[in-house]
Amino acid sequence: MHLDFETLKVERRGPHILLVTLNRPAAANAMNTQMGRELMALFEALSLDLERLRCVVLTGSGEKAFCAGGDLKERNGMTDEAWVAQHLVFERMLRALIGCPIPVIAAVNGAAYGGGCEIAAACDFIYAAPHARFALTEVTLGIMPGAGGTQNLPRAVGERRAKEIILTGAPFTAEEAERWGLVNRVIPADRLLEETMATAERIAANAPIAVRQAKQSISRGLQMSLADGLAFEIEAYNRLVGTEDRREGVRAFNEKRKPVFKGR
């Protein structure tokens, strides 16, 4: 996997975890076209070859911002055609992030505004520092959320709360985000990355095919009727019966030892 990026810092933490840092601190990690292209390339590459990775942690550089949203300095004076072309990159990036076969955990270390909030909401779940702030401010700029905000936010916090957040453009705190269901845990800033990595390590220690199948079953099942979701779940479950990891898990339980999963 290509790990040399201009706007991202990407590093493997052990054999199974990838730490991805949005790395434009001078611009509050705002997403310019280059960052959109690099995130798109990274997550599309993961869909093709996981290289033994089992979990991704996504955070921002510095202590003030996770991602301040789209880079409005870059967008200043853009033609309509250029704006649409840039947004196509962001749309493809978002789909690649949502489609990542392994879990993606957001460690929101500061402001997550606009597209930054949408990126966090597109992850499988979110841990946040107490000083983190969230907002979907697009309507204050004459646009609307266009990177999953009107879809992922209602699925996390419910329709009425999402309408209040999106239609006012007002910011909200990490504690409110946790109470409303967008954030899973609020963690002291000095322990945020450490505890997020600990969760990633716990996920990575589990059977990787089982984790991927369970993630897919949850994500796809929520788009189906209950009956169709149950049918999809069984198809995903049956994929695991013939795996070495299933046999290893049962064997390790009976031998009272930790299983060694190989992803086979």
Helix, strand, coil distribution of the chain in percent, nearest 5: 50, 15, 30
Active site (annotated) includes residue 248: no
Active-site residue, from 11, 38, 138, 235: 138
Nearest-CA neighbor of 115 among 170, 71, 57?
Answer: 71
**Using CA atoms, how far apart are residues 69 and 88, in angstroms rounded to an integer?**
15
Active-site residue, from 11, 51, 74, 118: 118
Active site (annotated) includes residue 138: yes
Nearest-CA neighbor of 262 among 54, 100, 102?
Answer: 54
Helix (H, G, I), strand (E, B) or coil at 111: strand
| Range 20-26, long-range pairs (CB < 8 A, 24+ positions) | 20/56, 20/57, 20/58, 20/59, 21/58, 21/59, 21/60, 21/61, 22/58, 22/59, 22/60, 22/61, 22/66, 22/67, 23/61, 24/61, 25/61, 25/62, 25/65
Active site residues: 118, 138
